[in-house]
Structure 1
Amino acid sequence: MNKSERLLQLLNLLRVRRTAVTAAALAERLGVSERTLYRDVQSLVLSGIPIEGEAGVGYRLRKGSFIPPLMFSESEIEALLLGVRMVQGWGDEDIGAAADSALQKIRSVLPERILQQQDLQRSTFLVPGNKRREKSRFGGSIRRAIKNREAIWLDYRDEQGNPTQRRGKPLALIYWGGAWTLLAWCLLRDDHRLFRLDRIQDLELTGEPFRIEPHQTLETYIRQYDPEFVDRAFP
């Protein structure tokens, strides 16, 4: 990685942080020494980037400062393109259309050279949507319920086809590579439960708002099985 690429990556790391981050942590992330990191920070400051530093605390962008949007690298464009293909192939129709719209907005600001390369790559990232509608059914309604913190009612069939009705607090949609599942706090079992979307027979938004208690959160559930992932996903 050359210096210009490293400076862009350093600026990106600072942009996404809400709190200060130490020089040691930044240096490790970039794969450089702390001495090099100090020089890179100084280069950004001299170029007009409003970076604040405090001994023992770390660096952060000055609160209230505006940094113009950064251009995507070619690798980042490839990652975005693959992500859009995955959403279109595995998500419900609404989220797929939103992903396609976002991609068009990104394409509108790409340099011509990168745009031509990206057009050539469109046929190299294919994610077939096998039974997409069945696997992502009720996805839009569930996302709205999660966003609005609205309790839901489910008519569900388990793996053996046994019927059950549940009320719960929807927390997250999780894709396991073969099926979408809803993670919810089940009011009947008073515990976390997973429900496969393709086994939901009917779903209703109850209109009842809910509050998530500390022991009911998505983070609490995942920490039981993969604490390292929680540390990465919930910094």
Structure 2
Amino acid sequence: MSEITVDWEETRRRAADKAAAWPELYIPAQGGTAGDTVDLSPLWQRASGIRHERVREQREREHGGIYVAPDDPTVDMLAEEAGGLALRLRAGVTSLTNRRDSNVHVAEVPEGPVVQEGIGTEADGAITITMWSTEGHWTDRAWWATTRAFVHFDEYGEVAMLAPEAELVVVSGDNMFPRGENPFGNVTRFLDRHPRSSVLGSQIAAAYRAWLARAGVRGIIAHQPAPDMAPIASEEFLREL
């Protein structure tokens, strides 16, 4: 097995360059302005614009200017473009999505019909979702996340969850610097907001929906409730068409 080596000087140089471009995600010791709390709201479109311009220039060289629509901003995109605390954000969101249910706590507070102020539309309801984990099976990264998701039903039975405001606290020992030289500290609070649905809120809502689906399957197996209707064979199904 080959030994893994890291050029720490190159890592520091790249971090300094990124800090100049993304001061909100780097602490003052690195030339940035970040504190314990990071507001993600103004950063998404910047990351999307930088990525789009690079892709546009590449298509211009290779294909003669084919139009490319900008991609929607994502946590991965911000981490790749900016680095710094966006890497911690990505690690926290990845853990939120992938951590085993036995290590995750979930609390939900439902509401009845309510107006979603940002878009001026009445939602069928809302759920304040809080999820947290103090450790995992393979990592001790801890996190706490919350959002108020507005739930919209449509005539086709679809369910949309829009989460305008969200908060994620990540407790992590990063490994992008040598031991004892991590300049970021161990706790970062990420805030995000958007009139319709924030990027971070959408991630939390998606993680909640996935957890809810798994919990539902466990409940069916554990309690074996009587079905609402009897199953039918395929032949009977075809006769009903």
Shorter-chain-normalised TM-score: which range? Answer: under 0.3
Higher relative contact order (CA 8 A, sep 6+): 2
TM-score (norm 1): 0.22
User: Would you tell me which structure has more helix in proportion to its own residues?
Assistant: 1
TM-score (norm 2): 0.21
